[in-house]
Amino acid sequence: MIIEKVVTNIDQLSQEELKKRHKEKVYLESDHLVKRIFRITTDHGREIGIRLKEPKDLLAGDVLYMDEGNMIIVDVLSDDLIIIQPRSIHEMGKIAHQLGNRHLPAQFEGDEMLVQYDYLVEELLKDLAIPYLREERKVKQAFRHIGHSHDE
């Protein structure tokens, strides 16, 4: 089976729609969400090829295949993350500036800033006395580097 487009996301489906279908999952590392072409095996042993025609990143919960009785859903494996929990806008500005200078991609969930684990970032947070946690957590989307050059 070759998948060329995302059908929908489970967030767009009703509970009725979800309940009436057998669910298979493909488990991806978050950095694979940006890939357009690859092979993977579902949790039920079915090998599928993914060749997306649209330049769109995959998201957790994307439905790759759906018929009346079955669906194949993207799930994301947990990442080793640093969860930064600044106490003030000053702390947020300080750490955002430092991480921006290093071109590290970040995501935000509520008042938390998420970055992939890096011992240098952990040392920086300790030096700046900014609260953080290190934990395994699933993210819905890939950590994406934003293209930028200082000579522009």
Outline where DSSP puts E strands in 52-110: 62-66, 70-76, 79-84, 107-109
Q: Are strands 79-84 and 132-137 parallel, antiparallel or unpaired?
A: antiparallel
pLDDT tens readout for residues 52-82: 998 888 999 999 999 999 999 999 999 999 9
Query: Does the structure show a pLDDT above 80 at 146?
Result: no
Measured CA to CA, the distance from residue 100 to residue 60 in angstroms comes to 26
Q: What is the pLDDT of residue 151?
A: 47
Give the architecture (CATH level 2) of 2-76.
Sandwich (2.60)
Q: What is the band of 149 on the pLDDT scale with cuts at 50, 70, 90?
A: very low
Q: Are strands 2-3 and 47-51 parallel, antiparallel or unpaired?
A: parallel
Q: Nearest CA to 142 among 110, 101, 96, 105? A: 105
pLDDT tens readout for residues 28-47: 988 888 888 989 999 999 99
Q: What is the pLDDT of residue 145?
A: 59
Q: What is the pLDDT of residue 148?
A: 43
CB contact set of 55 (below 8 Å; sequence gap of 6+): 36
Contact between 121 and 134 under an 8 Å Cβ cutoff? The reply is no
How many residues does the structure list for the chain? 152
pLDDT tens readout for residues 111-130: 899 999 999 999 999 999 99
Q: What is the pLDDT of residue 152?
A: 44
Q: Where are the domains of the chain?
A: 2-76, 79-137
Q: What is the pTM of this model?
A: 0.74
Output the CATH code of domain 79-137.
3.30.70.790
Q: What is the pLDDT of residue 104?
A: 86
